[in-house]
Chains A and B, each alone.
Chain A
Amino acid sequence: MTSHKRLHLKTYLLILIMIIAGPLGNLMLGKGMKSIGKITTKISSPGEFVHVFSTVLSSGTIWLGIASLLAFFVAYMLVLSWADYSYVQPASAIAYGVVALLATLLLGEVVSPIRWIGIAIICLGVLVVGHTNPRTTENS
């Protein structure tokens, strides 16, 4: 395999990790927090705050979510060290769609048609935002 091909493969692999690990991390945070319950009704004193806080930090699902988001972040940083930001950035746009898709499939969330359209427009907007010059300030 040529080094050019290998670089492409490495880039695709890391972008794939980004697209899966990012949304999956958010999904796990959602699942973990839902199982704890609505926290605004649980906290009415500092003691309860400490209790809820320690419940959150002792949840395996939450830590898996954090680990998954860290994997996303490391993959993002690594790929940005050789690939152009504007080449990688569409992956962040797609992630908004993936998160909704996975939430319906894995968590059984219901997404209305209007909301799907909204998510699609957000993806498009993020795509347009990313496709601009990543550096507009001068080196100082």
Chain B
Amino acid sequence: MFEVLFFSLIVIAGTAGELCVSRAMKAIGEVHDFRPASLVKVILRALRVKWMWIGVGLMTIGFFSLLAILSFENVSFVVPVTALGYVAGALGGRFFLGERVNSRRWAGILLVCVGVTLVVVGRG
């Protein structure tokens, strides 16, 4: 029962967090200058975007859920299942960021789902 809750939080909060961060960074614009001083400026600018804070908060929830589930489940089970983030990412990218997800990417996502199903079924 707890597993379902923690996995949902890892996948949904983690991915939603990444989508928020992605949205915040797109608002800032493409980074061209990678000198340390300019990177600090980019980070400071990012901290003024509301989406960045929501994203970091959600990713923190995801991270602590990962720690929680690792306290009683094997790493070789938990980490492969978190690949479901790709499924959530594609759905979120499609509906939240308006990205176009092509058929090839859907095929990959289907493979991830099949793989995760086998990992869950093959619990031994």
- Decide: A125 and B109 in contact? CB cutoff 8 A: yes
Q: How far is the CA of A133 from the CA of B105 in the complex (A)?
A: 9
Q: Which residues of A contact B112 (CB under 8 A)?
A: 121-122, 125-126, 129
Question: Closest CB-CB distance, A4 to chain B, in whole Å?
Answer: 20
Q: How far is the CA of A56 from the CA of B68 in the complex (A)?
A: 10
Q: Is B78 at the interface (CB under 8 A from chain A)? A: yes
Determine chain B's interface SS by DSSP, over half rule. helix
Q: When each residue 13-51 of chain A gets 1 if its CB lies under 8 Å from chain B and 0 otherwise, what string results? A: 000000000010011011001101111100000000000
Q: Which residues of B contact A122 (CB under 8 A)?
A: 80, 83, 111-112, 115-116, 119
The listed residue with most A CB atoms (<10 A of its CB), out of B34, B70, B112, is: B70
Identify which of residues 65-112 in chain B touch chain A, using a CB-to-CB cut-off of 8 Å.
66-68, 70-72, 74-80, 83, 86, 90, 97-102, 104-105, 107-112
Question: Closest CB-CB distance, A80 to chain B, in whole Å?
Answer: 10
Q: Is B37 at the interface (CB under 8 A from chain A)? A: no
Contact with A125, one of B34, B66, B75, B115 (Cβ below 8 angstroms): B115
- Decide: B111 and A118 in contact? CB cutoff 8 A: no
Q: How far is the CA of A62 from the CA of B2 in the complex (A)?
A: 21
Contact with B104, one of A103, A114, A121, A132 (Cβ below 8 angstroms): A132
Question: Closest CB-CB distance, A7 to chain B, in whole Å?
Answer: 15
Q: Which residues of B contact A85 (CB under 8 A)?
A: none
Q: How far is the CA of A15 from the CA of B80 in the complex (A)?
A: 20
Contact with A132, one of B70, B105, B120 (Cβ below 8 angstroms): B105
Identify the 4 closest CB pairs spanning chains A and B, nearest first. Answer: A118-B118, A114-B122, A125-B111, A128-B108
11 A-B pairs, CB-CB below 8 angstroms?
Answer: A34-B71, A40-B71, A118-B116, A119-B115, A121-B111, A122-B112, A122-B115, A125-B108, A132-B104, A137-B97, A137-B99
